[in-house]
Amino acid sequence: MSSERDRANLPPLALHVPEPRFRPGDEADFSDIVVPPAGVTRRPDTADAASSFHELAYGLVRVLDDEGNAVGPWDPRLDADAKRRMLRSMALTRAFDERMFRAQRQGKTSFYMKSTGEEAVSIGAAMALAGDDMCFPSYRQQGILITRGYPIVQMMNQIYSNRADPLEGRQLPIMYSSKEFGFFSISGNLATQYPQAVGWAMASAAKGDTRISATWCGEGSTAEGDFHSALTFATVYKAPVIFNVVNNQWAISSFSGFAGAEATTFAARAIGYGIAGLRVDGNDALAVYAATEWAAERARTNQGPTLIEHFTYRAEGHSTSDDPTAYRSAGEPNAWPLGDPIRRLKEHLIAIGEWDEARHAAQDLELAELVKASQKEAEKNGILGHGMHQPFESMFEGVFETIPWHLKEQQQQMLDEQKAAGL
């Protein structure tokens, strides 16, 4: 056995504490980020073994080049109409975010989370999935509902928790849920949706169905135990599920290094589980579409799960409760090397002669008016601070199919106390 004397010449042990590269007041410089040219990353056959393309977990799948051209084997070759629908959904999501952010600042709701700069992650994927595939989102994938045609008035009703709220005030604002639109209930507890998505996918396979599931989380959530439990189950049973990790560089106020980004990519975690891993330019809507389409085909042909890391950037605060200027450089959003997803797709459509600046400006105005009119419609049903929008007794409903006797007793006791108090 070694003694303390034997170790006298060794330096003392020390812990490494990750530190972000830029703090408030620093000049942001992302020049060391390796951005490979668009079109150079190979596209394996969807039947290839996951072990045969490990390099894809360390590279970057890109389709749109710096001149706005779609190039390389990952180009999904969508027609112009599909690309315009994709652009419109992204622009509508951004217009919706802007209006609801202002509504929160006006005191009309308590909370909101924007997806500015990350619209391609949800909308590119939603367009590549089948309409009846089940999505298990985190709290920044409102673009999925918008792409699938969910009424934005209903989304606003939920944000306001008003009398027309489809969830009857039982969820925090922006935590939508719609079985009809394949959108599983959002949870504020990080990564709980991951094992749920795997369970749903396993049930679909057990029934001999053809539907798959897809789930999203931020890179910070990969440190949660649920993330790893989900990957273990998916690996063992080859569940037909797509794991999306949205690496937007920041959790609430902690940079990605605290989730392990300094050691390797998040896509590389797939290698340890023996499943397919892709690292994708998350600001390239066509690349997101192509990667999701590829992963969906693997899932549907019983090739198992895929983990996709979307390399992107959170352009604004984590939520309306957050002030990013307190912990990161103000220059980061503009210095981010992968640009803005809406601008990049717009410039691509202009480059191929299927769009122009005038039409884009007209669309922005149209969507702003649409969101404004929808807001007025939703506010007819009430906003925060307008009193109770749901009956008191409804708090006992919606958990059990039939309310058990003991809850009925509690419900009646509450109503009797209300009556006695003259409420």
- 330 with 306, same domain: the answer is yes
Domain assignment present for residue 90? The answer is yes
Contact 117, 312 (CB under 8 A): yes
Q: State the amino acid at position 348 in one-letter form.
A: H
Contact 138, 152 (CB under 8 A): no
**Minimum mean pLDDT range among 64-68, 154-158, 388-392:** 388-392
Domain assignment present for residue 139? The answer is yes
Which of 129-156 are b and which e, b meaning 16 or more Cβ less than 10 Å from the residue's Cβ?
beeebbbbbbbbbbbbbbbbebbbbbbb
Span 76-121, pLDDT tens digits: 999 999 999 999 999 999 999 999 999 999 999 999 999 999 999 9
Span 279-336, pLDDT tens digits: 999 999 999 999 999 999 999 999 999 999 999 999 999 999 999 999 999 999 999 9
DSSP annotation of 415 reads H
Which of 319-329 are b and which e, b meaning 16 or more Cβ less than 10 Å from the residue's Cβ?
bbebebeebbb
Please state the domain count of the chain: 2
Contact 113, 318 (CB under 8 A): yes
pLDDT at 160 > cutoff 80:
yes
Cα 124 to Cα 102: distance, rounded to the nearest angstrom: 26
Domain assignment present for residue 94? The answer is yes
Tokens at residue 153, please? 């008035």
- 361 with 271, same domain: the answer is yes
Say which CATH number the domain at 276 has: 3.40.50.970
Kindly indicate the confidence band of residue 398, based on its pLDDT and cuts at 50, 70 and 90. Answer: confident
Cα 238 to Cα 261: distance, rounded to the nearest angstrom: 26
Residue among 111, 105, 174 nearest 146 (CA): 174
Contact 239, 212 (CB under 8 A): no
- 305 with 359, same domain: the answer is yes
Domain assignment present for residue 157? The answer is yes
Residue among 214, 354, 227 nearest 288 (CA): 214
Domain assignment present for residue 370? The answer is yes
- 306 with 403, same domain: the answer is no
- 183 with 319, same domain: the answer is yes
Domain extent at residue 416: 393-421
